[in-house]
Structure 1
Amino acid sequence: MRTFPGTHPIKADTVHLTADTLSVSMTGSITCQGILRHGLGFVELALPDADPQQRRALERAAQYEFELWRGGACLYQSPPLRVHEIRRDSIGALVVTGAPR
């Protein structure tokens, strides 16, 4: 299991995500990678757009953490992250950007 996602994307089929009042598992095409913006490191998590209520709960969250899984194996477990941005990418996936607290 990796301690930091790095700049190469991690592809997963399941994510277990906990954010403030939300605890959810999502399946589908999931990608995570480390990015650098203005000299600061962030983790970018791209999720399939799920239930609108789950999306709104995530948009209101101040912090989150997650585990990435592929084929029943845990690939990455994040530390607690502070939400910095939530947006949609060009194909409609929900992208959550965060940094360690």
Structure 2
Amino acid sequence: MELTLPDADPQQRRDLARSQWFQYELYRGGALVYSSGHLRLRETRRNDAGELVVSGSP
């Protein structure tokens, strides 16, 4: 799984870089449509647009 997030919050980037696990939820129109299980953090990096990219796997 790879998430691309706006990198507007330096604290969020530091917290994710120190994490071992993460979980995410997807919403559509305010309703929860998917909740992931725990994913082991594999990588955090910035893409060419400066966005934060977080990779993880079960």
Q: Give the TM-score of the pair, scaled to structure 2.
A: 0.87
Give aligned-pair identity as a percent.
57
Task: Answer 1 or 2: which has greater strand percent.
Answer: 1
Unaligned runs of 5+ in 1: 1-42
Query: Higher helix fraction: Structure 1 or Structure 2?
Result: 2
Q: Which runs of 5+ in 2 are unaligned?
A: none
TM-score computed with the length of structure 1 as normaliser: 0.53
**1:26-57 CA-partner distances (Å, limit 9, x unpaired):** xxxxxxxxxxxxxxxxx001111131111101
State the partner residue of 1:63. Answer: 21
Rounded to whole Å, the distance in 2 between the matches of 1:48 and 1:76 is 20
Change (3 A) 1:85 1:70: same
**Higher RCO by CA contacts (8 Å cutoff, separation 6 or greater):** 2
1: CA distance, partners of 2:7 / 2:28: 18
- Rounded to whole Å, the distance in 2 between the matches of 1:51 and 1:82 is 22
Q: Secondary structure of 2:12's match?
A: helix
How much has 1:65 moved relative to structure 2? Answer: 0.4
RMSD after superposition: 1.1
What SS does the corresponding residue of 2:27 show, helix, strand or coil? strand
CA drift of 1:75 comes to: 2.9
